[in-house]
Amino acid sequence: MKRFFSSVKELIFEKKFMILILGGGIGLLSFFIVALIEDMDLQSMQDIFSAFPEGMLEFFGDFTVLANPYGFWTLEMLSFIWLYAGILFIFTASSLLSHEVENKTIDLSLSKPISRYNFLGSKITFLYIYIMATIGIFFLITLGSMAASSTYRAEGIFFERFLAAYFSVVLFLGALAMVAKFISTIFLSTKKSMGLGLMIIFIMFFLGGRCVYMKEAIQDIKYISIFYYFNPVDYMVNADTAIFTRDIVILGAINGALIVGSLLIFNRKDIPN
């Protein structure tokens, strides 16, 4: 276990500046969105979007929540967090293992007193710490921005909703990253893992909430998408504990299944010389 924690520590120190830059960068974007809301007439925006055709609203989502400051921030930031940060996490997950294979350093790493389970487990542990720290910085900056905003103070600062959204975002991004990590244990190639991982993510994005124009008989396919179980508007605006509980349980199960699958595959994988 000493070697396990040592490997995690090394990876954290190696990526510490990236954590600060990425978390701070997304946090500054969030700060800008919060500041922008101060000068906006959200009710007028709701009236405009309410006039849109019903079919357009079904495809793009419920824009009426834009009248709520939390709804506006959630749609702008959390609904697209997979683009702001998720793609980078997918790249990191794809390369953590396969880079060592491609650089011919994995034999040296495994020659140390560490099992394959602990070797890959240390990289997966780092991946989740990386995601948690980055999103934590982003949420802290956001919370400070909202506390300084008269609009959000008038609406109320809901710490419990922020905490719920934080755990949901971490599990959601963790699941996306673990899809790429799972693929990397099969192919041991950064390019293949990244390419296939992104392709699967974009397909899931479409299936999770953009399949309203598909035949009704096959619309249940949305339930296999990770995106279907990420509903930040329901946490931040509606405080829907039932949906939050369902999403957390299912996202947690997806993460767990991908972790176990990755460990089992890597433990039996023949590593090319």
Contact between 255 and 180 under an 8 Å Cβ cutoff? The reply is no
166-177 mean pLDDT: 97
Residue 29 in this model has a pLDDT that exceeds 70: yes
Percent of the chain with pLDDT over 70: 88
Q: For the ranges 70-79, 203-212, 256-265, which has the lowest average pLDDT?
A: 203-212
Instruction: Kindly state the tokens that stand for 217.
Output: 């008989």
Helix (H/G/I), strand (E/B), else coil: 161 = helix
Q: How many angstroms separate the CA atoms of 61 and 52, rounded?
A: 11
pLDDT tens readout for residues 48-106: 666 666 655 555 555 667 778 998 899 889 988 998 899 999 999 999 988 888 887 88
227-249 mean pLDDT: 93
The predicted pLDDT at position 42 comes to 65
